[in-house]
Amino acid sequence: MPTGPKPNEDTKPQGAKPARRRAYLPAAERKRLIIEAAQTVFKRSNLKGARTREIAAEASVNQATIFEHFESKEALFQEAVVQPLIDAMRGMHERKEVYETAASPDELAGLARASASRHVTDMVEIFPLFTAALFSDPELGRELYREQIAPLIRARGEILDGLTRDGLDLDFVGLANFGMLFAIALDRHFGDGKLSGSDAAEGNADLSRAAAQFTRMSTGGFARRTAGDKEKMERDDGTAT
C-alpha cells in the first residue's frame, strides 16, 4: 500500500519554482513604506473606505506587519495623513521673520511674491491630505479643524499684523488668505486649473500665475483702484512692464 505523502500535504510539485522571499527591510524603512502606501490609499478611499489589506498590498507587506507599527487603522491615518498636514501648515505659517528682514517696500514685495509662491505650491501638494483628513469622518474633521487648523489660520492673520489696512479683522484676514489658497488647490485638483490661472496641464511651473494673483488679492483686494494704486500693485506682484 502506498506510503507517500497525501495530496493535500504541504509538498512542492516537482519542478516548481521556489517562492520568492521578501527582501529584508529595516523596521524604519518598512514603516516609511507603509505610511506612503497609506497616504495613497487614504487619498483614494478616505478613512472609512480604506482597508488595511489594501494598504498592505500597496506597501508590499503582510497585513500583520502594519499592526506591528500601528495599533489601529485610525492611528495609521493620524500619522500618514493628519500629522503631515499639520506639519505642512505650520511650515506655511512660520515665516514671519522673513518679512521682518525687508529693508524697503520693494524688498518686502519681493519677499511676499516668493512666500506666496511657496504657499500656493504647498497647498496644492497637501490638498489631497486635507480632503482626506477633513472629510473622511465628520467628527474627526470637526475636531481637526477646531483644535489644529483654526489656530493656524488665526496665526496666519497675526503674522500679517502691521501689513493689513486699518479696520480689517486679523482672524478674518487669515481665514480669507487660507480660503484663497484652498480654492486654488480645489480648482487645480478637481477642475482644469484655469479658473485660478494655474493650468494643470502645464505643471507646477504654471503656479506662478496663481501666486501672482494671490499676492495681488492679498495686498490690494479686488475693488477698483486709482492709477497710482494700480501701478503699486503691479510693482508689488511683479506684473509691471
Query: CB within 8 A of 81, min separation 6: which ones?
Result: 38, 39, 42, 47, 129, 132, 133
CATH number of the domain to which 156 belongs: 1.10.357
The pTM score is 0.69
Q: Which residues of the chain have pLDDT under 70?
A: 1-24, 92-106, 108-109, 197-206, 225-241
Look at residue 17 in the predicted model and tell me its pLDDT. Answer: 46
Domain count across the chain: 2
Give which of 137, 111, 129 is closest to 40, Cα–Cα: 129
Q: State the pLDDT at residue 13.
A: 43
DSSP 92-122: HH--HHHHTT--SHHHHHHHHHHHHHHHHHH
Residue 44: domain span = 25-70
User: CATH number for the domain including 51?
Assistant: 1.10.10.60
> Domain check: are 35 and 93 in the same one?
no
Of the residues 70, 87, 102, the one at which a domain ends:
70
Listed in sequence order, the residues at least 6 apart from 185 whose beta carbon sits closer than 8 Å to its beta carbon are 123, 124, 127, 130
Do 129 and 174 fall within a single domain?
yes
Regarding whether 227 and 147 lie in a shared domain, the answer is yes
Residue type, 165: R
